[in-house]
Every structure is written in C-alpha cells, then in structure tokens.
C-alpha cells in the first residue's frame, strides 16, 4: 500500500528486519494475534492457521468487533480441520518450514493435538515455540485467565478505580502487552539461535505482565513502606496535574510540574497574587496547598474555553491534553500527518484506517503489506507451495479438511 502524501514512507517488504522469517500461528482473541502482528509488521511471513469455521473473533460484536481487523493485518490465512488426518498433515508440513510457532490456547491443548513444543522440536530442532498463557508455570497455571481477571487479581483494577470500586483499564492492556512480550521473546530466541543453531520454548503470560505493569507501585511500597493509593485518591507528586472543567462544560487535562512552569503558568493567566504567595514557592509547597489551591485555580480557569487554554499552554510549552474519544483519533491531524493511520480494507470489503506500530525504522514506518485476510484466503497458495496438487487440494476441500477456494 502507498503512503498518504507528506507522510513518512512505509518500508518495502524486503527491507524489513524480519523478512524471510516464517511464523505459523495457532492463535485467537488478542494476545497471540498481537505477537504475530508485531512480527508481521516487522517483515515476517505470518501464517494464521484457522479452524474451518474461522477465528471466532471474526464475528464478535461490541467491544470485540475491532479485534480481528486490528491484530491480524499483514498475515496469511489457511483454514484447516486439525482433527482430520489431512488437516494435521498440512499443519505439520507448514510447521516444518517455520522458524516460529505461536499459540495461545489453554495449557495442554496443543499437546493433545500433537502440536506441543516437545513434539514439534523433534520435527524441527531450530523451531522457536512461543506460548501465550494466563500464568507462567506455577500454582495458578491451570486457572482460566482473561485480561479483566488478571487486572483484578494483579492490582491494576485497584489502582485504576476509586477506593472500594476497582475498575479495569479502558483497553486490553495485558493481552496487547503480553503479546508484545511474546514477540520480544521470539526476537531474543531468534538472536540466540544465530549463536547456538537451535530453537527454544518462549512463554509470556497475562498475570505476570500485569504484575510488571504495577511493579512501580510495588516498589513504591518497598521504598517508602507506604502502600500506593488508587490513582483517583493518590497524592500527586505535582500540585497541578488534573482534569479541569472549563467554559461550556468542556474538560481539559493540565499539568504544571516545575517551579519554572509555575511561573510561566501564572504569567499566562495573570495570576500575579498566586505567583507571589510564599505558601506556593515550590512544587512541594503547592502540593501541600492543593486543598485550597485547586478550587481557586478551577475558579480562575472556568471562564476560558478548552481551546483557549490549549493555545496558551502550547505557546508556553506546558503539558496539556484534550479529553478525546477513541473515534475522534481517526481524524487527528498529527496521526494523519505522521502516517500513524494507514488505509486498509476489511475482509468484507469495507475501507477504513488502522493504527501502525508506534515506531519508525530510519525515517520510515513498518506499514501495511496485506489487509486482514479473508478466511482461508491463502490456503490454496500455501498448500501448492508445500507440494499439494490441485486435485489433492480439491479432495481435501470436499472432505472438509481445508477451507479455501481452488484456483487454476
């Protein structure tokens, strides 16, 4: 796909760092597909093995409607019945050609299918096998985990909500970040394979990922002996670091995090008296004065519109943020100008924008090479590459072992 004029160019396939690496993934939902998406965006050939009915996330409604198109771009789809001998034969031939296998099923599921690491590493000793689980091996490993489950048991929901009102984060933070750690583990294993010549098993887990996210609060307790308060109740390290309701009921987040910034803030809004107040000389003084200072600032600022305040803050280099809904970001001028939003076509033919990885390589973006695939879109081409003839593919399709249109 081409870039929007004026945006950084998207890197060609052959120049991407993992071009030539083949990944076969047995994944669904978010965590496993995120790992494959990261590797695919960085150039790997990622083959998504789907059941005959397809990945269940293709048909999710509500908050799950974006799962499949977001986390399965730049991938190929092959649809196989792994309970049939023919479908399993195709899967094993694919795996024999792979550098990485990625999966995110319950512990023991892949072993029962004969696709666990111990079986596959004998077939391909160079294979890197990435498992995305709820928990790393230990007392909890047999539990069923979801992002929300580990947020509740891992301290994140406690820190996000108000006291006595735990609240999950507003996105699938552990699924997404857990998949990223799976990709990092795969990258590390690829680097080690260059030295040893052999692959290895890699594991990433939702619960341990969540604990990593709240580790700063754990360390706060270790250092101070005082437990971290939930974010809505916390004592901020900075006096002005909050959401303000301003003119016409609009909201804007404002931060004044240094003494220099405080002086600039006071000058910008003609707060001469507050600037000269000895009780507000330092940031720590202002933190101690929040009980009376914040109501005063809210009163002073409520006469301005959010746009006026944003303009003043931007001119003076002070941190601010509008309170933005996710759908509004599709029209964000910065995201569109930087090429962060790229055009794709959904499996049903609908065009839309998607979000690229938040990085550049050199001056280019790893972009979209393939749209999210239709179910079994690449079954025939991949099986032909593995040596199957047209009649053989057609016979397996007729038996229900493979889903995919046979082409001449």
Q: What is the pLDDT of residues 167-222, one digit of tens each?
A: 999 999 999 999 999 999 999 999 999 999 999 999 999 999 999 999 999 999 99
77 and 31 part of one domain:
yes
Buried b (16+ CB within 10 A) or exposed e, 221-250: eeeeeeebebeeeeeeebbbbeebebeeeb
Q: Do 143 and 109 have their domain in common?
A: yes
Q: Residues 308-333: what's their mean pLDDT?
A: 96
User: Could you tell me if 269 and 208 lie in one domain?
Assistant: no
Q: Residue 277's beta-bridge partner residues?
A: none
Question: Are 156 and 210 contained in the same domain?
Answer: yes
Residue 297 to residue 381: CA distance in whole angstroms = 65
Q: Residue 404: which pLDDT band, with cuts at 50, 70 and 90?
A: confident
- Closest by CA to 127, choosing from 197, 35, 216, is 197
Q: What is the C-alpha separation between 72 and 66, in angstroms, rounded? A: 10
- At residue 8, the pLDDT reads 61
Considering the domain architecture, whether residues 42 and 156 belong to the same structural domain is answered as: yes
Q: Is residue 252 part of a domain?
A: yes
Query: Which pLDDT tens digit goes with each residue over 7-46?
Result: 566 666 678 999 999 999 999 999 999 999 999 999 999 9
CATH code where residue 298 lies: 3.30.1540.10
pLDDT of the residue at 2: 39
Same domain? 157 vs 120 = yes
Which of 325, 342, 360 is the last residue in one of the domains?
325
Say if 81 falls within a structural domain. yes
The residues near 261 (Cβ < 8 Å, ≥ 6 apart) are 318
pLDDT digits (tens, 9 = 90+) for 91-104: 999 999 999 999 99
| pLDDT value of residue 3 | 44
Distance between CA 393 and CA 86 in Å, rounded?
A: 10
For residue 18 the two structure tokens come to 């993992």
Number of Cβ within 10 Å of residue 48's Cβ equals 27
> What whole-number percentage of the chain has pLDDT above 70?
96
- The tokens of 79 are what? 């649809």
pLDDT the model gives residue 159: 96
Residue 69 lies in a domain: yes
pLDDT of residue 374: 95
pTM: 0.92
Which residues are bridge partners to 205 per DSSP?
133
Pairing of strands 240-245, 201-205: unpaired
Q: How does 368-381 read in b/e, with b if 16+ C-beta sit within 10 Å?
A: bbbbbbbbbbbbbe
For residue 232, the model assigns a pLDDT of 86
CATH number, domain of 192, equals 3.40.50.10540
Average pLDDT over residues 395-403: 95
Given the DSSP bridges, would you call strands 201-205 and 128-133 parallel, antiparallel or unpaired?
Answer: parallel
Residue the block writes with tokens 């689980």: 133
pLDDT of residue 300: 96
Tell me the pLDDT tens digit for each residue of 220-255. 999 999 999 998 887 778 889 999 999 999 999 999
| End residue of a domain, out of 300, 325, 350 | 325
- Does a structural domain hold residue 221? no
Q: In Å, how far from its chain's centre is CA 62?
A: 18
> Residue 20 in contact with residue 97, Cβ under 8 Å?
no
Domain boundary among 310, 325, 340: 325
Domain annotation covers residue 26? yes
pLDDT digits over 126-159, tens only?
999 999 999 999 999 999 999 999 999 999 999 9
388 and 257 together in one domain: no
Contacts of 372 (CB under 8 A, 6+ apart): 68, 69, 72, 73, 75, 344, 346, 347
What pLDDT, on the 0 to 100 scale, is given for residue 320? Answer: 97
- Alpha-carbon span 135 to 95, nearest angstrom: 25
Same domain, 266 and 207: no
Residues 41 and 39: their CA atoms lie apart, in Å, by 6
Kindly state the helix (H) or strand (E) to which residue 276 belongs, with its residue range: helix 272-276
- Structural domain includes residue 222: no
Strands 75-80 and 402-403: antiparallel
Instruction: Answer whether residue 231 is part of any domain.
Output: no
Mean pLDDT, the chain, whole residue set: 94
Q: Is residue 21 located within the same domain as residue 136?
A: yes
Provide the pLDDT for residue 210. Answer: 98
Return the ∠ at Cα 47 (arms to 42 and 52), rounded to 5°.
150
The tokens describing 388, both together, are 């199957």
Identify the CA nearest to 12 among candidates 281, 366, 327, 313: 366
Q: Could you report the per-residue pLDDT of 103-127, keeping only the tens digit for each?
A: 999 999 999 999 999 999 999 999 9
pLDDT, position 146: 95
Q: Are residues 256 and 208 in the same domain?
A: no
pLDDT of 405 strictly over 80:
no
Has residue 125 been placed in a domain?
yes
Residues 168 and 263 in one domain: no
pLDDT bin (cut points 50, 70, 90) of residue 408 is very low
| Number of separate domains in the chain | 2
pLDDT surpasses 60 at 1: no
* pLDDT score recorded for residue 7: 58
Q: Are residues 160 and 32 in the same domain?
A: yes
d(CA 356, CA 200): 29
Is 70 exceeded by the pLDDT of residue 5? no
Identify whether the C-beta of residue 9 lies closer than 8 Å to the C-beta of residue 88. no
Domain residues for the domain of 309 are 236-325
**pLDDT grade for 4, boundaries at 50, 70 and 90:** very low
């Amino acid at each position: 796909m081409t870039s929007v004029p004026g945006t950084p160019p998207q890197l060609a396939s052959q120049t991407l760092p993992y071009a030539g690496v083949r990944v076969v993934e047995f994944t669904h939902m978010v965590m496993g597909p995120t790992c494959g998406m990261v590797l695919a965006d960085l150039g790997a050939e990622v083959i998504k093995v789907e059941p005959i009915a397809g990945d269940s996330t293709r048909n999710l409604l509500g908050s799950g409607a974006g799962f499949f198109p977001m986390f399965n771009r730049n991938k190929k789809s092959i649809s196989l019945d792994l309970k049939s001998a023919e479908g399993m034969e195709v899967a094993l031939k694919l795996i024999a050609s792979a550098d990485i296998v990625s999966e995110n099923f319950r512990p023991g599921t892949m072993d029962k299918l004969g696709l666990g690491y111990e079986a596959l590493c004998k077939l391909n000793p160079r294979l890197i096998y990435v498992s995305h689980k709820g928990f790393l091996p230990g007392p909890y490993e047999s539990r069923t985990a979801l992002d929300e489950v580990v947020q509740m048991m891992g301290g994140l929901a406690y820190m996000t909500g108000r006291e006595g009102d735990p609240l999950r984060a507003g996105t699938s933070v552990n699924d997404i970040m857990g998949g990223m750690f799976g990709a990092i583990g795969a990258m590390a294993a690829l680097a080690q394979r260059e030295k040893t010549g052999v692959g290895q098993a890699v594991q990433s887990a939702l619960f341990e990922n969540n604990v990593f996210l709240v580790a700063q609060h754990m360390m706060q307790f270790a250092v101070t002996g005082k437990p971290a308060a939930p974010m809505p109740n916390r004592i901020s390290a900075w006096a002005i670091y909050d959401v303000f309701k301003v003119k016409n009921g609009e909201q804007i987040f404002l931060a004044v995090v240094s003494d220099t910034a405080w002086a600039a803030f006071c000058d910008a809004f003609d707060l001469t008296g507050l600037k000269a107040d000895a009780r507000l000389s330092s940031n720590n003084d202002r933190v101690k004065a929040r009980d009376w200072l914040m109501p005063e600032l809210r009163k002073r600022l409520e006469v301005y519109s959010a746009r006026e305040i944003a303009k003043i803050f931007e001119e003076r280099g002070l941190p601010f943020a509008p309170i933005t809904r996710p759908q509004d970001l599709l029209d964000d001028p910065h995201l569109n100008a930087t090429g962060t939003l790229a055009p794709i076509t959904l499996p049903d033919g609908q065009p839309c924008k998607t979000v690229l990885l938040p990085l550049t390589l050199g001056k280019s973006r790893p972009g979209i090479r393939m749209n999210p695939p239709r179910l079994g879109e690449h079954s025939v081409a991949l099986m032909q590459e593995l040596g199957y003839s047209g009649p053989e593919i057609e016979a397996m399709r007729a038996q229900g072992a493979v889903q995919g249109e046979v082409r001449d």
